[in-house]
Structure 1
Amino acid sequence: MPLHSLSPVSQTCVLGLWLLTETAEELWPLLPAQAHYLAHYPDGRDELRARQWLGGRTLAHQLLRELSDAPATLHNDANGRPYFAELPGFGVSLSHSGEWVAGLLSTQAAVGIDIELIRTKAQQLARRFLSETEQTDAGNETAKYCLYWSAKETLYKLHSRRGLVFKEQLLLSPFELREAGVLTGHLLLENFRSQHQIHYLRPSPDYVLTYAVGD
């Protein structure tokens, strides 16, 4: 079973990575409450997306076993945010890209996580989601553009608000790119502002991962 890692972030939060090599048929037996997930299984997805969907839910249950013995089933709210219906106080976030699936689970706080394959697409679309200051800071570093995108996705998931403008309301302070580190993110709303630590790392040379835990 290619569970890559389960890493404690704190006593109440754990980060998981899954290297997705199984077929859909091999993933199904790893899931509890199969009738529930079969009823919510998305029709019409290609093979990779079907495996990612199943891998995400399998990983979510692996994370849950690290923090609780309670039986629970994963659902999605109106914004697409995953949650365990039987454990409303828990925060759950999932992400996938290529063969990687990432998950973050907290017993006490909202969470956000995102994983991205490093590619030129983020740089090509930078004007849509980066402020001028962020574009200048990213320069010509493809990995940095992807990290900016991933960090903003994580911040978006953490707050689960529809309609946020990434280049105006989700901003990041300039940073020096390393193999791992912490970014400072800012949520700017009309009557509310908040600052967040967004952790990042590279699970493999071609990917970046970011995550954040709410207050």
Structure 2
Amino acid sequence: MPLHSLQHLSPTAVLGLWQLTESSIELWKQLPQAAAYEALMPTTADTTRQTQWLAGRALAHTLLQELTVATADRLVVHNDATGRPWLAGAAHDLTLSLSHSGVWVAAVLVAGGRAGVDVEMIRDKAQRLAVKFLNTNEWNDAAAVALATPEATSTHYTRLWSAKETLYKLAAQRGIIFKKQLLLGTFVPAESGEIPATLVLDGAETRHCICYCQPSPGYVLTYCHESFT
């Protein structure tokens, strides 16, 4: 079944995972407001990108129904200038975060809060680019993990990148410097767990908790949600 799982993170937040098996034609049939989405489809998207894009919208509507949002079928997922999704026609207290990689699409929907989610295919790219997004302490911690468990090196660096992506989406602000403003604390890597994090914005520091797991071999998922109350 394409809809892989729904997990209520709180009474007002839900996480959804979609495993892509359908064609774009099959996904179009699952979308309300198809005409509106036809106008929003990225014009340069290839077949893979189209199916990921459509599955993200289908998943978003599934989460709206799961939270029993009124007029869910009349809402439309848009993207702002930075690519961040938002729900046209929805109350201002609804926050949606979307991510896709390979065969996985992930989403978190929160009423009265904020959220970030990221799914990544495990590759060595994150390790190669680590100097660009890890600070000295994070680099040293990652190097120690790589030395202790070399077979899991790519997984760990991908997890760190994904965690920072999730924190970036939670911050919902442009111009953030990953090495200086998105900070990850020390943790013992496992198949699933939590990563302590600090967000530095406007001279203030706030503490956060990023959850992580592997939805299937070869992939990493991270997410974070918080209530405004």
The bucket for the TM-score relative to the shorter chain is over 0.9
Other-structure match for 1:124: 128
Shifted more, 50-59 versus 188-197: the winner is: 188-197
Residue pair 1:154, 1:210 contacting (<8 A) in 2 also? yes
Please give the alpha-carbon distance, in whole angstroms, between the structure 2 residues aligned to 1:157 and 1:116.
14
Alpha-carbon distance, 1:190 to partner = 4.1
CA distance in 2, matches of 1:168, 1:196: 16
Render the CA deviation track for 1:36-76: whole Å, top value 9, x for unaligned: 10110111211111111001001000111001242211112
**Secondary structure class of the residue paired with 1:30:** coil
Alignment correspondent of 1:84: 87
Cα shift at 1:214: 2.5
Separation in 1, partners of 2:187, 2:157: 12
Q: Which residue type is aligned with residue 8 of structure 1?
A: H
What is the aligned counterpart of 2:221 among 194, 199, 209? 209
Is 1:12 aligned with 2:12?
yes
Q: Can you give the 5+ residue segments of structure 2 that lack an aligned partner in the other structure?
A: 147-152
State how far apart, in whole Å, the 2-side matches of 1:214 and 1:159 are: 11
One-letter amino acid of the structure 1 residue matched with residue 162 of structure 2? S
- From 92, 96, 103, the counterpart of 2:107: 103
Query: 1:1-215 residue pairs with structure 2 within 5 A?
Result: 1-71=1-71, 72-87=75-90, 88-139=92-143, 140=146, 141-215=153-227
Indicate the RMSD between aligned Cα atoms, in angstroms.
Answer: 1.1
Cα distance in structure 2, aligned partners of 1:163 and 1:69: 32
Structure 1 stretches of 4+ moved >6 Å: none
- Contact 1:200–1:211, Cα closer than 8 Å, also in 2: yes
Distance in 2 (CA, whole Å) between partners of 1:114 and 1:211 is: 6
AA partner of residue 85 (structure 1): A
Kindly, what percent of the aligned residue pairs are identical?
50
- Map Cα deviations across residues 141-166 of structure 1 (whole Å, 9 max, x no partner): 22111111000000000111111110
Question: Which TM-score applies when normalising by structure 1?
Answer: 0.96
Q: Is the 8 A contact 1:79 1:160 kept in 2?
A: no
Letter in 2 for 1:214: E
SS across alignment from 2:123: coil
